[in-house]
């Protein structure tokens, strides 16, 4: 009798990698997962590292506030064009910039404030983050997607599976599942851009239902070959 474990179409490692790649793509392009990072400035410090508060990587920043007041984005090029000594100017920050900055090697985003803070101010940054990493080895691992968008995760995994170089490669099937995945991503993007309930941080204790364990989306012992 053949070993059923050897007749699986994908390994758990491949499944985890594809699932996390799909979730990251959804988060990056649809901006569905927001984190709000609250802190304070340090007098004389212009640059601050910001990562996902829930453990995910920072993807993009769309709002920065000083003492509950929104400040505008700018660039280091614009600041240098206005004054070559902009880095020495201090005061209450009125602008923030993201370019030409790097403070560490971790997957954070560095935010610069200008003028350089001259005192302690309340700092609040809202950013899009990648969801927490999934692993099929952990029970009860929540999928950080709204319930209605959960099938999109499966479509994305199947698209990558049929696209991979294996004996089951089927580019037509991959294209079909990619179309299904793109439809979910389009609807997520529409919800994000319309700013309907920007508290879409799906996880335990947030007052929102999650899609539950990743393994609920798949057959208990994998996809059989026949």
Q: How many CA atoms lie within 13 A of 191 on its CB side?
A: 21
Where do runs of H (alpha helix) occur along the chain? 12-30, 76-82, 150-163, 171-193
pLDDT of amino acid 92? 94
H/E run at residue 49 = strand 47-50
Domain end, chosen from 129, 148, 180, is at: 129
For residue 91, the cross-strand partners are: 117
Residues 57 and 109 in one domain: yes
Confidence check: pLDDT of 33 > 60: yes
Got the DSSP string for 107-134? S-EEEEEESEESS--EEEEEEEEPPPPP
Phi then psi for residue 77, to 5 deg, are -65, -45
Residues 80 and 137 in one domain: no
- pLDDT digits over 148-201, tens only? 888 999 999 999 999 988 878 899 999 999 999 999 999 988 876 655 444 433
Residues 123 and 137 in one domain: no
Domain end, chosen from 107, 129, 151, is at: 129
- pLDDT digits over 130-149, tens only? 888 888 777 677 788 888 88
pTM of the model: 0.67
Question: How many Å apart are CA 111 and CA 103, to the nearest integer?
Answer: 10
Residues 83 and 156 in one domain: no
- pLDDT digits over 36-95, tens only? 889 999 999 999 888 654 456 778 888 899 999 999 999 888 888 888 888 889 999 999
**In which domain, by residue range, is 194 found?**
11-32+132-217
Q: How many CA atoms lie within 13 A of 165 on its CB side?
A: 0
Confidence check: pLDDT of 114 > 70: yes
Q: For the ranges 13-17, 116-120, 136-140, 211-215, which has the lowest average pLDDT?
A: 211-215
Domain end, chosen from 96, 113, 129, is at: 129
């Amino acid at each position: 009798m053949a070993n059923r474990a050897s007749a699986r179409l994908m390994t758990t490692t491949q499944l985890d990698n594809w699932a996390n790649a799909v979730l990251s793509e959804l988060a990056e392009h649809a901006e569905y997962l927001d984190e709000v990072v609250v802190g304070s400035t340090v007098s004389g410090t212009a640059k601050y590292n910001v990562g996902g508060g829930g453990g995910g990587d920072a993807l993009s920043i769309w709002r920065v506030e000083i003492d509950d007041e929104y400040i505008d984005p700018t660039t280091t090029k614009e600041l240098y064009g206005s004054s070559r000594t902009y880095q020495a100017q201090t005061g209450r920050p009125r602008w923030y910039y993201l370019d030409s900055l790097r403070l560490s090697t971790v997957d954070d985003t560095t935010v610069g404030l200008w003028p350089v803070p001259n005192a302690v101010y309340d700092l609040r940054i809202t950013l899009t983050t990648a969801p927490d990493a999934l692993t099929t080895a952990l029970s009860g691992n929540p999928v950080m997607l709204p319930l209605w968008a959960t099938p999109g995760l499966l479509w994305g995994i199947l698209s990558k599976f049929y696209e991979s170089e294996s004996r089951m490669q089927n580019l037509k099937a991959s294209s079909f599942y990619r179309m299904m995945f793109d439809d979910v991503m389009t609807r997520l993007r529409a919800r994000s851009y319309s700013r309907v309930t920007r508290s879409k941080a799906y996880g335990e204790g947030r007052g929102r239902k999650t899609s539950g364990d990743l393994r609920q989306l798949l057959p208990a012992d994998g996809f059989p070959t026949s």
